[in-house]
Amino acid sequence: MIDQTITQLRQMKLIGMTSALVSQVEQPCNYEGLAFEQRLQLLADSGLIRADGARYVLSETGLKVGKAQASAQKKISASAQRVVIKFVYLNQSAGDRCCGTFLLNWIPDSDLDTFVYERSVSDGTEILTWLRVLERVGMISVDTDQAYVNKEYLKSVKRVISRNKRC
């Protein structure tokens, strides 16, 4: 049931709300003393949902955030995206800006001829952030169950994964 809820929140591109719910799932001991309504109120306190009688609905802020996330456009050109990917996200000397360690979680998929990341309910904030950032610059494509490295970046990703596995 919770997996379905998280999937629906992701499909609605409510990343913040998804992250908050995943946090409650990942850290149940922090919330075990709270009733369902209290846990839901924690999500509401973020300003994304509000009580409407006996049910909860998206607040004005929640609707605005949802619209903004759904209509987000890439802000940089394709050539700038390639530069950012090559010299920042795939550059090991870029420190924590390099996604090399994150890419170690990806597996080769011979049927799709790419690297695949299997998404999970337990994906934490760091993973969700990397998925969002790398999708935004066009390096990967993300759906509700998996993420895929786009074909033009396969060689570069393979090189980064190989280097990180040797370390």
pLDDT of 166 above 70: no
What pTM, to 2 d.p., does this model score?
0.54
Nearest to 139 by CA among 152, 122, 121, 155: 152
Averaged pLDDT for residues 103-108: 91
Instruction: Name the amino acid, one letter, at 49.
Output: I
Report pLDDT for 23.
73
Tracing tokens 């049910």 back to the chain, one arrives at 55
Give the ranges where the chain is alpha helix by DSSP (H): 2-11, 15-26, 36-45, 60-70, 78-84, 100-103, 125-136, 154-166
Among 8-22, 93-107, 124-138, the range scoring the smallest mean pLDDT is: 8-22
Task: Give CA–CA dist 55/135, Å, rounded.
Answer: 34
pLDDT tens, 43-94? 665 556 667 777 777 777 667 666 665 655 556 677 778 888 888 888 877 7
The confidence score (pLDDT) of residue 146 equals 94
Domain range summary for the chain, segments of one domain joined by +: 2-70, 78-166
Tokens of 95: 């420190």
Of 87, 134, 97, 137, the C-alpha closest to 115 is: 134
> ∠ CA 4-66-7 to the nearest 5 degrees?
10
